[in-house]
Structure 1
Amino acid sequence: MLRGIYPGRFQPFHLGHLSVVKWALERVDELIIIVGSAQESHTLNNPFTAGERIEMIRMALKEYGIPTDRYYIIPIPDILMNNVWAYHVKMYVPAFQKVFARNPLVVRLFKEAGVEIDIPPAFNREKYNSTLIRKLIIMNEEWKDLVPSSVYNYIKSIKGDERLKEITGSDKK
């Protein structure tokens, strides 16, 4: 059985992330989705908790018909030592043979750890970009079409959009 990992912060999980998950699942039997910076929440860059991000991902994958036996979702806290991060990840997850990543640091660290790297396509990265989506939420601009509808509805239900605006102190209309 071939298993891969897909690390990300998923702040929030968007349609670009979903495209990477689908692409990766064409190449492996199982995918471990790593929710990175698991200890972070309620900040501009990391507004959602690890638990909220796990729920977003599960809802989105269910919405798009991806069977639960094809993936794991595992939260992993940061460590402040990049040179051992790949080994840190290995402690938290089942065995894997491949990493799906575009982040240059992640690619470098897993290469140095001797793991095969598969770099997914960008999938309209300019549009599907968590930093942009958070900015659109803060500015009260349209972002609904950038995330799965289940993720949009979930963020609204937990008032995640309000949280993000309050964190920034923004009152723009």
Structure 2
Amino acid sequence: MSPAGPTPPRASRARTALVIGRFQPPHQGHIHLLRSAASSAGSLVVAIGSADKSHSVRDPFTAGERIRMLHAALDEAGIKATHIIPVDDLGRYALWVAHVQAHCPPFDLVVTGSPLTERLFRDAGVPVETVETVDRERLEATSVRARLFRGEDVTDAVPKRVRDILSEPWARERIDAVRRAAEGEG
């Protein structure tokens, strides 16, 4: 302790970072982003966007299923999230930042790789740290989902424990049912 009192924690470690994504499913690009956010702040809030969406090509998994996958991925990567919060989709960008803020614990900055998320939060006066995306073509959720729908291996794109969950019968059945519905088979 100094004569002036206790030494405050490093400013960056005392902050709370928010990462928001749909995590449909969590993939290695998300892990890169979450690891960067965790190193920038003392605590991490993860918001699962479009939590009300599921059983579709764009959003095949429920919020609860994504939370389970995210816990597995974070645990495997050794990343500690203080909170994982589901946030429903508003479909209105003008209200979205306030909606996220109303559903999440207080946060000091947003860490993102999304230009839209960056712009919306910056315009609302929220500090934003941008993380460069890695291998976007392979590690983009749209590509990962397309590979899942084609029955292809996604070992290179998702954490092992997420792959294990995606291999469970219920997940394979969901992927197959969504694919069939999209193709007009059911």
Partner of 2:95: 84
**Residue in structure 1 matching 2:134, options 116, 123, 135:** 123
Check whether the contact 2:34–2:79 (CA below 8 A) recurs between aligned residues.
no
Q: 1:74 aligns with which of 80, 85, 107?
A: 85
> How many residues get paired?
168
Say if 2:153 is the partner of 1:114.
no
Asked whether 1:55 is paired with 2:68, we answer: yes
- Alpha-carbon distance change, 141 to 66 in structure 1, aligned in 2, over 3 angstroms: same
Q: Deviations over 1:125-152 (max 9, x none)?
A: 1111111111111112221221111101
- 2:10 corresponds to: none
In the alignment, the residues of structure 2 paired with residue 162 and residue 15 of structure 1 have an alpha-carbon distance, to the nearest angstrom, of 23
Q: Does 1:26 align with 2:36?
A: no
Post-superposition CA distance 1:83-128 (Å, at most 9, x none): 1110111111111111112222211211111001111121211111
Change (3 A) 1:118 1:158: farther
Check whether the contact 2:29–2:140 (CA below 8 A) recurs between aligned residues: yes
- Kindly provide the CA deviation profile for residues 53-80 of structure 1, in whole angstroms up to 9, marking residues without a partner as x: 001010111112224xx43110000113
Pair 1:45 & 2:62 matched: no
Asked whether the 8 Å contact 1:138–1:161 carries over to 2, the reply is no
AA partner of residue 58 (structure 2): N
152-161 or 77-86, which moves further after superposition?
Answer: 152-161
The question of whether the paired residues in 2 share the 8 Å contact of 1:59 and 1:150 is answered with yes
Supply the AA of the counterpart residue of 2:129: D
TM-score, length of structure 2 as denominator length? 0.85
Q: TM-score, with normalisation over the residues of structure 1?
A: 0.91
Tell me by how many angstroms 1:158 deviates. 5.0
Instruction: Decide whether the 8 Å contact of 2:33 with 2:112 is kept in 1.
Output: no
Q: Which amino acid aligns with 1:99?
A: V
Query: Match of 2:18, as an amino acid?
Result: I
* Pairwise CA distance, 1:161: 2.9
Q: Which amino acid aligns with 1:134?
A: R
Quote the residue 1:138 is aligned against: 149
